[in-house]
Amino acid sequence: MEKKINEILNALKNVYDPELGKDVVSLGMISDIKICDNTVSFRFTLTTPACPLREHLKRKAEEAVKSIPWVENVNVIMDARVRSRMTSPEKKIKGVKNIIIVVSGKGGVGKSTVALNLAIALKKLDSKAGLLDGDVYGPTLSIMGKTKAPPLVKEEEKIVPPLYYGIPILSIGFMTNPNQAVVWRGPMVHTAYRQMLFDVEWGELDYLIIDLPPGTGDPLISITQLIELSGAVLITTPQEVSIADVRRAGNFLKKMNVPILSIVENMSDFICPHCKKNTKLFEGKGGEILAKEFDVDEVIRIPFDPLLTGLSEEGIPLLEEVKESPASSSFIRLAQKVASKISVLLNPD
């Protein structure tokens, strides 16, 4: 039996995870090997359910084991366990493994839209995701992420966020009067963030997405002080004039040791719903320039999709309505990229 198990492990050592740069056995991804006559079954635990290479790795593992002469059937049980990047206990949120901030230089570039759809895409890829609207100056997620129930306060004084399409969501807009002007001073932002992060029953989450106000003001500083972040997603539009502020935010994050996980270029093109012709909406290579500067290998381009605007108004996430469209595919690709980048950061060479 031991000989056969070694044979299987040796075969699986030929299966490489190209993103993590090691074979799947050395990465500790293989367990529960069972042999019954000529049938082999084992568990293959990925570092994230949102792994873009999931099907590829499964197929490679099956092929590798099937290449052993006595093996006739292979049964791979795919599984995933997301690890946490948080190390300092005082900056940890109970149950939350990774926190990702969504940042832009200016308002109106689609930051909240991306934050919401990223959380939904992660959920669609079987991860446990949550969403926090930390845009104190313009909390649009309380409108986009319309929920039936207001946040409840439990006996232990913890806020229980309502569920929005299965993801816990909390917005500063749930707590303030949307028509009343609140002058957010630095210490107030800090206190509000502390409450929305630590006094909330977030439950078990693989990824908590935080939508921050644009720019490099008090909110960004507070959030980097309060919690340990797994990384940031930078949102820009293609115009090169719009990237100066995003660059500033990115440079600040770099200085604070917050990795840039992805660069999103929103509203890159318009794909005509009738003739499918792709028209570039703006000149410029904003995303490409930032990706080079921040060493990000792929720009995620999200086309302008009128359906996305309409659904946002109604509080419906695009991925709940349209599974296959250029914009929904971009959100899935973004979720996969973000999740796999975190896995890579957690598994350094």
The footprint of ligand ADP (CB under 6 A) covers: 104, 107-113, 140, 266-267, 302, 304-305, 308-309, 312, 327
Residues 239 and 283 sit within 8 Å (Cβ to Cβ): yes
Q: Which is nearer to ligand ADP, 108 or 166 (CB)?
A: 108
215: alpha, beta or left? (left if phi > 0; alpha if psi -120 to 50): left
Residues 321 and 306 sit within 8 Å (Cβ to Cβ): no
Nearest residue to 81 (alpha-carbon basis) of 52, 118, 44, 124 = 44
Q: State the nearest-atom distance from the C-beta of 194 to ligand ADP, in Å.
A: 23
- d(Cα 317, Cα 117) in Å, to the nearest integer? 6
Q: State the nearest-atom distance from the C-beta of 281 to ligand ADP, in Å.
A: 10
Residues 228 and 85 sit within 8 Å (Cβ to Cβ): yes
β pairing state of 167-171 and 163-164: antiparallel
Q: Which is nearer to ligand ADP, 12 or 234 (CB)?
A: 234
Q: State the nearest-atom distance from the C-beta of 89 to ligand ADP, in Å.
A: 32
Q: State the nearest-atom distance from the C-beta of 249 to ligand ADP, in Å.
A: 13
Q: State the nearest-atom distance from the C-beta of 100 to ligand ADP, in Å.
A: 15
Q: Which is nearer to ligand ADP, 49 or 317 (CB)?
A: 317
Q: State the nearest-atom distance from the C-beta of 69 to ligand ADP, in Å.
A: 53
Nearest residue to 344 (alpha-carbon basis) of 42, 113, 85 = 85
Chain residue whose CB lies nearest ligand ADP: 110
3 state DSSP class of 335: helix
Q: Which is nearer to ligand ADP, 114 or 291 (CB)?
A: 114
Q: Which is nearer to ligand ADP, 222 or 266 (CB)?
A: 266
For residue 108, the number of C-alpha atoms closer than 13 Å in the C-beta half-sphere is 1
Q: Which is nearer to ligand ADP, 109 or 170 (CB)?
A: 109
Q: State the nearest-atom distance from the C-beta of 212 to ligand ADP, in Å.
A: 10
Q: Which is nearer to ligand ADP, 57 or 338 (CB)?
A: 338
Q: State the nearest-atom distance from the C-beta of 235 to ligand ADP, in Å.
A: 7
Q: Which is nearer to ligand ADP, 9 or 182 (CB)?
A: 182
3 state DSSP class of 268: strand
If one counts every other C-beta atom within 10 angstroms of the C-beta of residue 130, the result is 28
Residues 46 and 79 sit within 8 Å (Cβ to Cβ): yes
3 state DSSP class of 236: strand
In the numeric block, the tokens 């909330």 are attached to: 200
Q: Radius of gyration (Cα) for the chain, nearest Å? A: 22
Q: State the nearest-atom distance from the C-beta of 155 to ligand ADP, in Å.
A: 35
Amino acid, single-letter form, for residue 131: L
- d(Cα 171, Cα 209) in Å, to the nearest integer? 12
Residues 230 and 342 sit within 8 Å (Cβ to Cβ): yes
Q: Which is nearer to ligand ADP, 20 or 129 (CB)?
A: 129
